[in-house]
Every structure is written in structure tokens, then in C-alpha cells.
Amino acid sequence: MNKSILKKLSFGTSVLLVSMNALSWTPSPTPNPDPIPDPTPCQDDCDFTRGPNPTPSSLEASTGPYSVATRSVASSVSGFGGGTLHYPTNTTGTMGAIAVVPGFLLQESSIDFWGPKLASHGFVVITISANSGFDQPASRATQLGRALDYVINQSNGSNSPISGMVDTTRLGVVGWSMGGGGALQLASGDRLSAAIPIAPWNQGGNRFDQIETPTLVIACENDVVASVNSHASPFYNRIPSTTDKAYLEINGGSHFCANDGGSIGGLLGKYGVSWMKRFIDNDLRYDAFLCGPDHAANRSVSEYRDTCNY
């Protein structure tokens, strides 16, 4: 058979097959859309969400969702006056670290409420005493930094109960009175993710107008040691409006209003935990407790200011 006949047969067969396929063709279903691609690795403002969805009652409870273990830190340690490590035991992965320092003349016991409170919500916390009760805010700022260094070194060690637990890029501080002044001074640098100065006391020059660290100032309305009008309020106002910040004033509170929780422990927990979760963990679920609602509707709050939305 010659080549021209083969070509005709081949062409005819192709036409026949196409025609038969056309007769039996039915529309194929619309394909599902392409799946959402995996997110790129965390680079900036990452979400380190940990724990169940927060509620007012869960934040105001005496403890958070995690069990807490402690370990004493000897006063002979270099850089600060010793203290206590508080860390979660029933969660995994790295977490932020927070150092807490007291004020003039007082020891760790005056602020140790904050250790288990914050640790039970997923942070490694060290509550410390200062080297001397007379140490000024600048010294307490340095000691807060040394306490964070200690926690990081413990996390980097193989024989520590917090081995491998700390994310060194997510650090925070809490300070009361002169310790609050120290917290503000340390926040003036670029090391911290969050700071909470409580009834802060500071005299002399400062760089609070350079603070970019998200800062929650907790003030005590009737403070006669670090009066609101001379310390907490102007310190808050000096922090740039471009910085994420808030001012929580405790109604009728003395200089000690936010040390041990007491009758307002739930309120302190709600705002203190929410601040650290929002800015150390970048957990947007906590915005609801820091922005929006009428904070002063709570009789324990005499004034609230903020730069929301964060």
C-alpha cells in the first residue's frame, strides 16, 4: 500500500476517534482551587501563639494553663542578688524570658507574685533581689540585663532544668519603684520586646523619649513615694506616641498597689499577662484585653490610656 493511502487512512481514523470522543464527552468537574501554600519561615513580627484562647476569667484566675516549677538562684551569682527561676513544665518549645526586680530596700519577696503568674502562661521568669537595697534605677537596669543573661546561659546549658527553653530574641522585664525606673532605662535600649514598670521611680536625666520597646506603665493613684504626677504619668507621656504603650492607674492604690496581687490580682494578671503575650509572643488574641473596651468601667481602674491599635 502506498504512502498516500496510509496517510488518508490514518487521518480518517483520527477523525473518527475524535468524532466518537466528542459524542461521549461530558464536562469535567471544576477543579478545586489550589491549596494555600505553606507560609514562609518566620522573619518578622512572628506569632508565637501558645495556650488556649484567653478569656477574662482565665486571665484573672490565680494561675494560667501551665504548671510551674521553681529553682533557687544563689545570692552569690554574679550580676544581681540572687532570686528564683519560675518555668512551665507541661509545654514544649522555646518561649520568652522575663526578669523582675523590686525597689528601694526591699527584696525579691516584694515582687515574687509576678514569677508564677507569668510563668503559668508560658514564660520563663526570674524574680530577683538587687545586689543592695540602695541600688539606684541605673544599677537595677543593669541587674535586670544580667538576670536575663543568666536565664539565657541556663537555657544554653545541658544540665539546667530550663535547658533549651528560652528564645533569646524575645525578652521582657518588670520592675517596681526604683526597679520600675530601671525597667524604663533598660527599655530605652533595643534588647527588649516588652516592659512593665510598676509605680516607677526615677530622678535625673533619662532617655525615655527614645523608648521603642512596647511599655505598659502601671501607676498607683495615691502613691506618695513615686507620685503619679511626678513619675508615672510624665514618664508615660515622654515615651513617643509612635511606641506601643499603655498607662493603667490603680484606683486609690498606694505605692505597693501592684506588688502581690491581693484583691486586684486578677486585674493585674489580665493586663500584665496580656501585655507580655501580645508583645513577647506577638499573640494578637490579647489585643482584645488591651484595646477597645471601657477599661475605666472597672472600679479598680482610675485611668487608662493607650496607643491602640497595636
Catalytic positions are: 177, 223, 255
At a CB cut-off of 8 Å and minimum separation 6, what does 293 contact? Answer: none
At a CB cut-off of 8 Å and minimum separation 6, what does 41 contact? Answer: none
What percent of the residues of the chain are helix, what percent strand, and what percent coil, each to the nearest 5? 35, 20, 45
Burial of residue 31 (CB within 10 Å: 0-12, 13-18, 19+) is exposed
* Cβ contact 98:118 at 8 Å: yes
Residue 120 grid coordinates: 503559668
- Which residues partner with 245 through β-bridges? 215
Which SS3 state, helix, strand or coil, does residue 220 take? strand
Q: Give the containing element (helix H, strand E) for 280.
A: helix 265-280
The span from the CA of 228 to the CA of 68, in Å, is 34
CA–CA distances in Å: residue 67 to residues 62, 116, 119, 122: 12, 9, 8, 9
Residue 224 grid coordinates: 506618695
CA angle 152, 68, 176 (to 5 degrees): 65
